[in-house]
Structure 1
């Protein structure tokens, strides 16, 4: 929603917005743009009455602004529908979808096109990303050129449109990273998730292309009835785009990409983790299919920084490294911790988790969560975010996670809030430790409070 506000402002519209509690990095981006955020929601925020209200999928009936919109018949729409009408019509739509890796892969693809524009200005992309891409310092860009790159979210569109947002984007080219059960608040089971992705695949025209991960039977099922060309990427030798010889050298991740059985490229980037090699290879494959040169792809990956809140180093104090990662699912947590193990092999790895996403707040993937957290040396859990909104029988009980971890030999503890976490954890931290803070929200300011506490201790 912050990104679409920025795009609309670039088109010359006057934009304001509302939220219960905006937090970085998007609140910072809005402030820099001069877009006012009203907090909290209130009917008076709609004065003067706007020409159009864009209603995000976090809002439902009972919200005071939603109620006023309906009572007074103020024109309204969803974010996804507005994107389609205002920005995608008449353009080439390149969509990045999947349970994991969407934001980083969209950022990578956008940067590849930006670098390609140094030689071919018409390559400069418009884009809309669900996070702040550090190379751009923004989550959006609008150019008069043809290509629009967009992160395709499978979450529902709005209270009045329960279909996934990505069905509005009609891709000409599609990257499909992973398909797993997620968003337990809106999808009943894995079959429902797969149905959504199958519908997305069915929107790609015959002239289009799908670049799909080769290591998931769910992905294979979802693309099985595609009408367009499908190219697989991953670690399987028979795939169109095969990753080989992945390694860390001199602080860089390097690997080879073999295309149709022949070596195509040597690639390198500063980000670590097998999952990021997969993300980068997917972006490279789709860009190459659209005619972007290998030289531009190699240069872009070597220059790529990261995305805010994806393995982001927030502070290094007294030899202690604090990492911020947007953890929303056990698989994402697993890949984050695996990457940190490779990047910091000598240090103790702490995982500090706030169960905040609609999936992590539920116990449906409790077993997978425990297995992912076992990759850390020390695990600290906070209480479930807004646990009163989850039925008791569906709710994750962090004490059960802590018990399972402890019984398996992993040191784990549960504390009720951030202040208790800091009181207990800070005295135990020592030089060489890596602290991964895992949350898809503000986590009560721990990203600022932990460095401040360590500075005070030093």
Structure 2
């Protein structure tokens, strides 16, 4: 597809984190952008403020206002939108060019030097670290992020078009639309079994992604994964290894052994070994691309993180409040490891909102084990997202599987009162649903506490 011939870009599901990055990209490139989403959010508010018209009712009657026609309009939709969506059906039957978000990303990046981040965990943080490194090294880069960068307060980094940094999303096999020059695989834990059926099909999909590399491309894999590539790991025998790790003032200080050099005294401010691993692979890809070591070290020291990825909202001696997007048992384990490493001996309360009935069903025992590690747990109802309820799969059912004695099923309206009655010194909100919308209220309520 020749994007130069496109005048209008219309998004169905424009408020999604990946969709909104594309909307900003097309707007920055002079296209007339408009769209639909189910509900208003901070993201849709920001897009509207930037001049993008958005409506929140699935009805073709709004489309006349946007001056769309099938000859110069591209329609982009997210797989989370049902096939029966009235607007999607209208566009498909009216001869418009209709593409999934991932397909559009493939078109945008095919003529750039593309660095793609794949894996069931760590994609967003790694992509945003790598995008930040490229900016500090003044690489002409466009980076599409699956979260809001704390450094740039956006999910789109624009500094040129020669190089692209993207998340390679395994959901719906979306990453198979990409043909990167350089790629990494951070993890391959079972997930999205509603799409794949079983873990072996998910693994096959990652292998298929590895074969999508352009000729002469480089593939990086976390040490221990069953795919060949340049390896990276922490304190092991990988091609890129983080070693001599210490914690100083809440930050990691470490060295990295590369295949040809030793990069010393690197500082990285995000807690958790999972984030250290994310920083390591971003460093490895930047170094292999050709970024100077000194600039890479400078970038890692100034990296601030991604909103809802171990985001601090209160950080006092007697009270810490952290919000995190973790929605898979392995991600919850990573959050737990980070909290225990940074706050040894402190009492920790986790408030968790399960995301998807199918994921809760498929990993119930693992969720129960992960959540039971915290001192106290408050469990919210399952956030359905794109799914209908599944018989017998409820938060109450999950709660009964947990071995933690200090556990309760609560409503969102009870969160603040339950936190205030707790003796926890570290508070966590965890989940990928709308629990993030509770953060502001929780922070305000706790900020008035002594």
TM-score (norm 1): 0.87
1:142 partnered with 2:154: no
RMSD over aligned Cα, in angstroms? Answer: 2.2
Equivalence for 1:328: 327
Which runs of structure 2 are paired with 1:36-435 in the superposition (5 Å)? 36-48=53-65, 49-50=67-68, 51-85=73-107, 87-117=108-138, 123-156=139-172, 164-215=173-224, 219-220=225-226, 223-224=227-228, 230-235=229-234, 237-260=236-259, 263-315=262-314, 319-357=318-356, 360=359, 362-386=360-384, 389-392=388-391, 395=393, 397-405=394-402, 408-415=403-410, 417-429=411-423, 433-435=425-427
After superposition, what is the alpha-carbon deviation per residue over 1:79-136, rounded to whole angstroms, capped at 9, x for unaligned? Answer: 1222222x2132101000000000000011111111111xxxxx13111111111112
Q: Which residue of structure 1 aligns with residue 431 of structure 2?
A: 439
Q: Distance in 2 between matches of 1:253 and 1:76?
A: 46
Provide the rounded CA distance (Å) in 2 between the counterparts of 1:297 and 1:456: 40
Query: Matched residues in 2 for 1:144 and 1:305: separation?
Result: 22
Distance 1:177 1:142 in 2: 25
Q: Distance in 2 between matches of 1:42 and 1:136?
A: 35
Contact 1:317 1:454 in 2 (8 A): no
Summarize the Cα distance change of 1:27–1:321 in structure 2 as closer, same or farther, 3 Å threshold: farther
Distance of aligned partners of 1:232 and 1:334 in 2 relative to their CA distance in 1, 3 Å threshold: same
Q: What's 2:9 paired with?
A: none
The 1:308/1:455 distance shift into structure 2, 3 A limit, reads closer
Give the one of 19, 26, 32 matched to 1:8.
26
Q: Say if 1:290 and 1:455 are closer, same or farther in 2 by CA, change over 3 A.
A: closer
Query: Aligned to 2:208, what secondary structure does the other structure show?
Result: helix
Alignment partners' CA distance in 2, 1:198 and 1:275: 23
How many residues are paired up? 426
Post-superposition offset of 1:351: 0.8
Gaps of 5+ in 2: 1-18
> CA separation in 2, counterparts of 1:358 and 1:113?
38
SS of 2:38's equivalent in the other structure is coil
Q: Give me the whole-angstrom Cα distance separating, in 2, the residues matched to 1:37 and 1:354.
A: 28
Write the deviation string for residues 47-89 of structure 1: whole angstroms up to 9, x where unpaired. 235222211111122212112223433332221222222x213
1:161 aligned partner = none
Whether the 8 Å CA contact 1:357–1:440 is kept in 2: the answer is no
Residue 41 (structure 1) shift:
2.4
User: SS of 1:47's equivalent?
Assistant: helix
Displacement after TM superposition at 1:429 (Å) = 4.5
Distance 2:436 2:36 in 1: 20
Q: State the secondary structure of the residue aligned to 2:232.
A: strand
Distance 1:428 1:214, change over 3 A: same
Structure 1 unaligned runs (5+)?
A: 118-122, 157-163, 225-229
Secondary structure at the counterpart of residue 40 of structure 1 = coil
Q: 3-state SS of the aligned residue for 1:130?
A: coil
Determine which of 46, 50, 60 is the counterpart of 1:33.
50
Alpha-carbon distance in 2 for matches of 1:35, 1:323: 32
Provide the rounded CA distance (Å) in 2 between the counterparts of 1:40 and 1:61: 16
Q: How far, CA to CA, are the matches of 2:383 and 2:236 in structure 1? A: 43
Alpha-carbon contact 1:96-1:152 (below 8 Å) kept: yes
**TM-score with structure 2 length normalisation?**
0.88
Q: CA deviation at 1:379?
A: 0.6
Counterpart for residue 453 of structure 1: 445
SS in structure 2 at match of 1:137: coil
Cα distance, 1:371–1:196 mapped onto 2, change above 3 Å: same
